[in-house]
Amino acid sequence: MSQLFDYDKQREAESAAKVRALEALLIEKGVIGSDSVDTVLAHFETVAGPFNGAKIVARAWIDADFKTRLLTDTPSAIAELNLAQGMDGAEGEHMLAVANSSEVHNLIICTLCSCYPWPILGLPPYWYKDPVFRARGVREPRAVLKEFGVPISPETRVDVWDSSAQIRWFVVPERPANSEHLSEAQLAALVTPESMMGVALVEMPAA
């Protein structure tokens, strides 16, 4: 992550400590039970999370017809993969996908900071909610992407999509070069939440 957002690591650690302290207090006071917390965490570890998005992206990489359907009718294409149990609720509705290519790079933000597609991307990172990222993502997306390690050539158009309650966007990143020998499951393992937000590229692992 860029130096601009390095300070968020400390803030995220501080926020995590506060959350743990609050959780312990609520459990101690009997407001919630530890099993309730475990149930929520298990949901995002096994049902709703970035592995859903990774499966969708990997299928789009190996199946051109599926990719076309995904970009034209995203909810129907997602339904084909039987991810319905992880796609229920408001956060999984009104999905739309956009695809990166050599001609265009897509960046997803949420200026209202309340419309993150959890079933596809998992829990949002702290920096995604930061007002600095949200504002600069709109104003100077190329500079932000460069700071995240994604320099965009002048010939490539940058499109910024703002998620809302009406539309929740995610990116189909470009398939990495020299990955033709990988299976669909192996391809899915390369996909990260950041690549589906547009702030990272998908790369082959080092030999």
pLDDT in tens, 24-40: 555 555 655 655 555 55
Q: Which active-site residues does the annotation give?
A: 110, 113-115
Rg (CA), the chain: 18
Region 40-55: what's the mean pLDDT?
A: 66
Q: How far is Cα 41 from Cα 191, in angstroms, rounded to an integer?
A: 21
The pTM score is 0.77
Report the topology of domain 49-197: Nitrile Hydratase; Chain A (3.90.330)
Kindly state the tokens that stand for 193.
């939440």
List pLDDT tens digits, range 52-102.
999 999 999 999 999 999 999 999 999 898 764 545 544 556 789 999 999
- Take residue 171 and report the two structure tokens written for it: 């990116």
Take residue 102 and report the two structure tokens written for it: 């050599």
- Domain spans of the chain? 49-197
Partners of residue 161 on adjacent β-strands:
108
Q: Residue 111's Cα: distance from chain center in Å?
A: 15
| Nearby residues of 78 by Cβ (< 8 Å), 6 or more positions away | 56, 70, 87, 95
